[in-house]
C-alpha cells in the first residue's frame, strides 16, 4: 500500500502557492508593465531569476534569507514561526520557483490590452484597481491563465529548492517529486511508477488548461 501523504502535501503546497503567485504575479506585472529603463530591467531580472537558476541555488538563497540565523529567520522565531523544514517552507519554495512563469505570462498578456481601453476607463473616473479587474483582465485572461497553468505545473514538479529548505519529511514536506526520487533510490520501483503516473496526469491537466486558455485568445 502506497502512502498517499505526498499527494496531499503536494496538492496543499501547490494550491496555496498558486493563489499567492497569481495575485503577486498579476499585481506586480501591472505595477511594472509601463516602467522603462534600469529600474524596469532590474525588477524583471529579479522576478525572472528563479526560472533560470538551478533549483538548488534558489534553495540555497532561500536558506540564507530564511535560515534561523538570518534577519528574517530571527524575526519569524520571535513570533514562534520556524520556516526551515516546515510545510510553510514547501509552499515558499514552490512559490518562488513558479513565480516567474506567472509574472512573465501576466505581464505579456496585460501589455496586449489596447491602451485606448485603459485611457477611456480613466477618463470615466475608474480607479486603477477596478480598471485592472474589470477592463484589463477580461481581455488578458487567456495569457494570464496560460501563465497560471504553467506556474501550477512548475510548482507541482519542483524538487531541488524544496529539498534544500523543506527537506524530505514524510507526511509533512515530502512532495511527489521527492517520493519518486527516494522510492527509486530505495529500489521501490512500484511506488515510483505510481507517483510518476499521478504527477504525469496532473501535469497533463495543467497543460490542457493552458492550451484551452491559449485557444480562447485566438
pLDDT at 54: 92
**Exposure string for 157-189, b = 16+ CB within 10 A, e = fewer:** bbbbbbbbbbbbeeeebbbbbbbbbbbeeeeee
CATH number at residue 143: 1.10.3720.10
Q: What is the pLDDT of residues 81-130, one digit of tens each?
A: 778 888 989 999 999 999 999 999 999 999 998 888 888 888 888 888 88
pLDDT band of residue 1 (cuts 50, 70, 90) is low
pLDDT in tens, 5-43: 999 999 999 999 999 999 999 999 999 888 888 888 999
**Predicted local confidence at residue 23, as pLDDT:** 95
d(CA 34, CA 124): 21
Residues 213 and 146: beta-carbon distance below 8 Å: yes
- List pLDDT tens digits, range 185-215: 999 999 999 999 999 999 888 888 777 766 6
Copy the grid coordinates of residue 15: 494550491
Output the DSSP codes for 142-191: HHHHHHHHHHHHHHHT--HHHHHHT---TTTT--HHHHHHHHHHTT-HHH
Question: Between 215 and 139, where is the model more confident?
Answer: 139
pLDDT at residue 8, as a whole number: 93
User: Residue 155 has what pLDDT?
Assistant: 93
At residue 212, the pLDDT reads 72
In whole angstroms, give the CA distance from residue 159 to residue 59: 10
Give the pLDDT confidence score for residue 217 in this predicted structure: 53
How many domains does the structure of the chain reveal?
A: 1
**Cell 506585472, residue located:** 29
Structural domain harbouring 51: 5-216
C-alpha cell at 82: 520556524
Spatial distance between the Cα atoms of 125 and 16, rounded to a whole number of angstroms: 35
pTM: 0.88
Higher pLDDT, 146 or 195: 195
The reported pLDDT for the residue numbered 145 is 87
Percent of the chain with pLDDT over 90: 53
Amino acid at each position: 500500500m502506497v502512502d498517499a501523504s505526498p499527494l496531499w502535501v503536494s496538492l496543499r503546497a501547490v494550491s496555496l502557492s498558486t493563489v499567492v503567485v497569481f495575485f503577486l504575479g498579476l499585481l506586480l506585472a501591472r505595477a511594472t508593465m509601463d516602467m522603462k529603463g534600469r529600474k524596469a530591467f532590474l525588477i524583471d531580472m529579479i522576478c525572472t531569476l528563479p526560472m533560470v537558476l538551478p533549483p538548488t541555488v534558489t534553495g540555497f538563497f532561500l536558506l540564507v534569507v530564511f535560515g534561523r540565523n538570518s534577519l528574517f529567520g530571527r524575526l519569524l522565531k520571535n513570533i514562534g514561526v520556524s520556516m526551515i523544514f516546515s510545510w510553510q517552507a514547501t509552499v515558499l519554495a514552490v512559490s518562488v520557483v513558479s513565480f516567474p512563469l506567472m509574472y512573465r505570462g501576466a505581464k505579456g498578456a496585460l501589455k496586449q490590452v489596447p491602451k485606448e481601453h485603459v485611457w477611456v476607463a480613466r477618463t470615466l473616473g475608474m480607479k486603477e484597481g477596478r480598471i485592472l479587474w474589470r477592463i484589463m483582465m477580461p481581455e488578458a485572461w487567456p495569457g494570464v491563465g496560460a501563465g497560471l497553468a504553467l506556474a501550477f505545473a512548475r510548482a507541482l514538479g519542483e524538487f531541488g529548492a524544496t529539498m534544500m529548505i523543506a527537506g524530505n519529511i514524510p507526511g509533512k514536506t515530502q512532495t511527489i517529486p521527492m517520493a519518486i526520487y527516494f522510492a527509486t533510490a530505495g529500489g521501490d520501483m512500484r511506488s515510483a511508477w505510481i507517483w510518476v503516473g499521478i504527477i504525469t496526469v496532473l501535469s497533463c491537466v495543467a497543460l490542457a488548461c493552458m492550451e484551452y486558455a491559449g485557444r480562447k485568445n485566438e
